[in-house]
Chains A and B, each alone.
Chain A
Amino acid sequence: MRSMMPVRFWVVWLSALGFILGSSALASAQTAGETGAGLTSTLTVTPGQRGGIKIAVVPFAWESAAPPPSQEQDVARVIRSNFNRSGKFEALREDRYGELPTTAADVNFGFWKLAKQEYVVVGRVTDNPDGTFRISYELLKTANEKRLLGFAEIGRPGDLRRVAHRIADTIYEQILGVRGAFDTQVAYVTSTGVGRDITYRLWVAHSDGFNPIAIAKNNEPFLSPAWSPDGKRLAYVSFERLANRSEPGRSSIIVQELASGVRKAYSSFRGINGAPAFSPDGTRLAMTLSRTGNPEITVMDFASGKLTQLTRHYAIDTEPQWSPDGQQLFFTSDRGGKPQIYRMAATGGDPVRISFQGEYNARVSVGFDGNLLAMVQGNGNVYRIAALDRSRGDPGTTTIITDGRLDESPSLAPNASMVLYAAREGTRGVLYAAAVDGTRLKQRLASSEGDVREPAWGPFRPR
């Protein structure tokens, strides 16, 4: 009874929200959605402590008839913030722009060379006749005084932050040859309240924590959100009471379509239904089921519903993650005594251990090339995120990239440049985004309330 109502209510509420989003009033989505437990971003490392490519992002000229936007929608400011948290760039501080060119023709290269900037970005915002904004920008290289990019984006009022993410992605790719992941989404779980009054929410937000929208809510736990490769669906574990099931406290794997809010329970067996992971082609879901008496890696085919159990071992086998080619599965197993990361063929077979540093390794996240893996590594009472680079073959090189005491749930960005993870601050869970390169640069995505956990970085958006 108790948990039925919120679920029903939620589906209705979600549909309403979908309508609001569909009708292009993006700005109002924030007020329509629950934003109480949303995230705001704060850089915890000052730019002076970092290295990276020096880039000046000159404030964009505001040539629109509309009033100038808030700081959160200030295009140049958002681009700078993206670059700084990536660990790859050091954007010139806002108070250091002695010249304010807005087109390539205005750029005095001597000034920027003196300021030791390797790249300069200039741009301006004007009005289109249909009421949208036109955001034109150019990227210049100071060394050879060449123009590398010259593009224009279209943005609706209230949507300039996303435009800034797209521009940052394009510049990032032009300079580094790797696609940027700023215009992506993240999912995470919050809990608020205590005892019987705990409310769990599953959220989807922009990669910088802005625009959070709660997509599911219940008094029973949610965990392990996982994105479909097309970014349109989320699979997650829910302990909510399902309509066809009388007893509470049983786990299910739910797949929810983000646009429609339609949810479907795919796995509600006796025991654990956990750790879902979409195959790279989106046709299968790897998961952990203990219906045969013990947590085992199992793959479900969406079309047929057929389940294939891949492990048969008395150990805990869980947290499967696909290799990018879909041929292999990485997972956590304590078959050797303590949890470690193993790899096996996606059709089953003998698992091979691949983590060797640290007493405890679990919850692997696999980078786009399959060679960079992030995992939680435990040594004594300290749990931190480790990056394992296998690009030069096994056993690879392990680097600890975070500095908390109870860091967990790493999730690599789709370009594997950053990792999102959960940490404890006092009795509260918070999220951080850290650079993978070992610079220990990290950004806190702070929630205004509640306990935040289980981040999952979404895929690239379609080009």
Chain B
Amino acid sequence: MNNTMRVLVIALAVAGLAACGNKTVKDDVRSTTPSDPRPTQVQTNNTDTSDGFSVADPNDPNAAPCLKVRVVNFDFDQSSVRPEFQATIDCHAKYLGLNGQWALSLEGHADERGSREYNMGLGERRGNSVSDLFKAKGTDSSQLMVTSFGEERPTCTESSEDCWSNNRRVELVYTKK
């Protein structure tokens, strides 16, 4: 591999991580931050974490990579989950099935356009739409709670399609039951 190729591969990998990063780090989640005193690479007393679904904490660094995706995005004025997020929901449904002590708070959001109370309804509809997919995967309804924040908690405030598409989302927030 020549140097140009190597740079390109690294750049692509970084870009991939960055794209992922947008959707993984959520301040509502007790994620393992760099300041966390726990050594991240030491094997914990979990039985077998090799598949990434038996970790006691979904925020464990050994958790399956797909569990790190915590945001589902939507098209304008739409609440149907795009096919690209099916794998994310499958992944979290699998974890919830194996870890009954965890529940998911599904926090629905809308972009800034239109009326705030209608957007409150739209956020809830998006949350319900994700919740329905979890239930179809066999997730117990006691592990699912839908809350809508409408357009009240944006991740960005620019009036652009980029920002709007980031704000049209359902956040998957793990809570202990």
Contact = CB atoms under 8 A, between A and B. Distances in A.
Interface of A: 195-196, 221, 223-224, 239, 247, 249-251, 271-272, 274-275, 288, 290, 293, 295, 316, 318-319, 332, 334, 338-339, 360, 362-363, 376, 378, 381, 383, 405-406, 408-409, 424, 427, 451, 453-454
A221 B118 contact: no
Interface in B107-125: 107, 112-118, 120-122, 124-125
Contacts of B152: 221, 223, 239
B contact residues, range: 20 to 34
A332 B115 CA distance: 10
B129 interface: no
Contacts, number: 91
B35 interface: no
A275 B117 contact: yes
B153 A224 contact: no
B159 A319 contact: no
A424 B158 CA distance: 10
Contact of B114 (A195, A223, A271, A378): A378
Nearest to A359: B77
Interface string B23-61: 000010000000000000000000000000000000000
Nearest to B77: A338
Contacts of A383: 113-114
Contacts of B22: none
Contacts of A451: 157
Interface of B: 27, 77, 105, 107, 112-118, 120-122, 124-125, 128, 145-150, 152-153, 157-159
Contacts of B113: 378, 381, 383, 406
A295 B121 contact: yes
22 contacts: A223-B150, A224-B117, A249-B105, A249-B107, A271-B146, A272-B124, A274-B120, A290-B124, A295-B120, A295-B124, A316-B121, A316-B122, A332-B118, A363-B117, A363-B118, A405-B159, A406-B112, A409-B115, A409-B116, A424-B159, A427-B157, A454-B116
Contacts of B122: 316
B36 to A, nearest CB: 18
Contact of B158 (A272, A334, A338, A427): A427
A295 B122 CA distance: 10
